[in-house]
């Protein structure tokens, strides 16, 4: 298929990789915060989906894409609040609650969407992009990377902001201590419950914005179950990144590219069954896990509820 990689095709491929990668990036970064603090946030899929729903709803009603992202963050945090109450404060099993929240969000968003819009799927208007001066004129890459919605640039900046935060602030220390040895953090006079709750809420906000991007920018509409495992891919990215946000960025780029390739190959009309093509991103997940999972780092206290005085 040498004729396949034309300028247009390549541009579309990179463009699609970014569109698909940004939600994964935001989910992965969010999950990384939770995991650093010792909470395995399986509810992230639900947070993302709920954020997609509320984000779309707010953008649809207010006609403002930015208020939509805010709504997405709020929706994600709402689900995260439940996670914090059940898993951090009440010390319940993080895996059970996480799965419950994901299933609950899937059912609830489908129900609410049906209730409001019946079987119609209203669309948002076209999204304005912000072309960066000069570099957006580079052939192929310019249009695909530097002529995008401002949230794309903000998400990339967030990667480096988080790396800096982890290294240079008390917040970074507190998060790491909460995941590695919460009793030590408690003895140092920092509230472990509060630290972990804030981490879970931050995850909810980022996952929610990721969901809103998926709905408002990626698709332009909300569909039930539309996250389709994106939150779980974010979870895998966070585990493989060993606490470094930059690795989440690389991982999101890889998975975004394979998702985009799936679409592109279908459009290109190759003689491969669509079912096989659609397996590509998930085959990629498995491949990456087989190669890198041995090197994944998980904080010692990950998944364990903290109870003061218990060792």
Rule CB under 8 A: choose which of 10, 11, 136, 176 binds another protein: 176
Distances (CA, A) of 272 to 3, 13, 145, 267: 16, 18, 29, 11
Query: Of the candidates 183, 219, 221, 304, which one interacts with another protein according to CB under 8 A?
Result: 183
Does residue 25 touch another protein according to CB under 8 A? no
Q: Give the residue with the Cβ less far from another protein, 182 or 231.
A: 182
In the block, tokens 């994600």 appear at 76
CB of 186 to another protein, least distance (A): 6
Annotate 264-282 with b (16+ C-beta within 10 A) or e (fewer). Answer: bbeeeeeeeeeeebeeebe
Among the candidate windows 185-193, 208-216, 219-227, 246-254, which touches another protein by CB under 8 A?
Answer: 185-193
The tokens 């998926």 sit on which residue?
Answer: 214
State yes or no: residue 311 binds another protein (CB under 8 A): yes
Quick check: 29 and 208 in contact, CB under 8 A?
no
CB of 254 to another protein, least distance (A): 27
Based on the shown chain and the rule CB under 8 A, indicate whether residue 181 belongs to the binding site for another protein: yes
Could you tell me the two tokens for 194?
């509060």
Establish if 161 lies at the interface with another protein (CB under 8 A): no
> Is the separation of the CB atoms in 195 and 51 below 8 Å?
no
Residue 3 within binding range of another protein, rule CB under 8 A: no
Tell me: does residue 173 bind another protein (CB under 8 A): yes
**What residues have CB less than 8 Å from 21, skipping those under 6 apart?**
252, 253, 255, 256, 257, 259
> Any contact of residue 186 with another protein (CB under 8 A)?
yes
Q: Under the criterion CB under 8 A, does residue 242 sit at the interface with another protein?
A: no
Q: Which of residues 127, 163, 190, 253 is near another protein by CB under 8 A?
A: 190
CB burial of 189-216 (b: ≥16 within 10 Å; e: otherwise) equals ebebbebbbbbbbbbbbbbbbbbbbbbb
Q: Which residues pair with 131 in a beta bridge?
A: 147
β-pairing, 147-148 vs 130-131, is: antiparallel
> Is residue 197 at the binding interface for another protein, with CB under 8 A as the rule?
no
**Whose CA is closest to 198, among 167, 175, 164?**
175
* Segment contacting another protein by CB under 8 A, of 48-56, 124-132, 177-185, 274-282: 177-185
294 sits near another protein (criterion: CB under 8 A): no
Report how far residue 176's alpha carbon sits from residue 171's, in angstroms, rounded to the nearest whole number: 9
Q: How far apart are CA 57 and CA 115, in angstroms?
A: 13
Among 7, 170, 269, 294, binds another protein (CB under 8 A): 170
Give yes or no for residue 180 binding another protein (CB under 8 A). yes
State yes or no: residue 273 binds another protein (CB under 8 A).
no
Report the residue number, 115 or 170, with the smaller CB distance to another protein: 170
- Residue 131 phi/psi, 5-degree rounding, is -70, 130
Report the residue number, 32 or 109, with the smaller CB distance to another protein.
32
Does 35 help bind another protein (rule: CB under 8 A)?
no
Point out which residues bind another protein (CB under 8 A).
168-174, 176-177, 180-181, 183-191, 308-309, 311
């Amino acid at each position: 298929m040498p004729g396949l990689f034309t300028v247009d095709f390549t541009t579309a491929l990179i463009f699609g990789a970014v569109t698909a990668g940004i939600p994964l990036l935001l989910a992965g970064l969010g999950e990384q915060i939770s995991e650093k603090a010792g909470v395995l946030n399986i509810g992230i899929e639900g947070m993302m989906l709920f954020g997609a729903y509320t984000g779309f709803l707010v953008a649809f009603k207010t006609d403002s894409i930015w208020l939509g992202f805010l709504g997405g963050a709020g929706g994600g945090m709402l689900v995260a609040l439940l996670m914090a109450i059940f898993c951090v404060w009440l010390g319940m099993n993080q895996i059970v609650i996480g799965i419950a929240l994901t299933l609950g969000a899937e059912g609830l968003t489908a129900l609410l969407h049906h209730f409001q819009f019946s079987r119609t799927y209203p669309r948002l208007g076209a999204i304005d992009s912000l072309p960066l001066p000069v570099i957006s004129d580079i052939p192929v890459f310019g249009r695909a990377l530097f002529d995008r919605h401002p949230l794309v640039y903000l998400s990339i900046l967030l990667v480096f902001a988080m790396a800096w935060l982890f290294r240079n602030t008390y917040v970074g220390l507190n998060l790491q201590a909460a995941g590695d040895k919460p009793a030590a953090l408690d003895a140092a006079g920092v509230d472990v419950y509060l630290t972990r709750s804030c981490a879970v809420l931050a995850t909810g906000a980022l996952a929610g914005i990721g969901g809103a991007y998926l709905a408002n920018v990626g698709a332009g509409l909300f569909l039930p179950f539309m996250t389709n495992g994106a939150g779980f891919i974010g979870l895998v990215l966070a585990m493989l990144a060993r606490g470094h946000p930059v690795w989440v960025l690389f991982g999101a780029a890889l998975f975004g590219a394979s998702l985009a390739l799936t679409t592109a190959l279908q459009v290109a009309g190759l003689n491969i069954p669509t079912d096989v093509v659609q397996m590509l991103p998930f085959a990629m997940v498995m491949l990456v896990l087989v190669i890198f999972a041995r090197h994944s780092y998980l904080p010692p206290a990950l998944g364990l509820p903290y109870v003061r005085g218990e060792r």
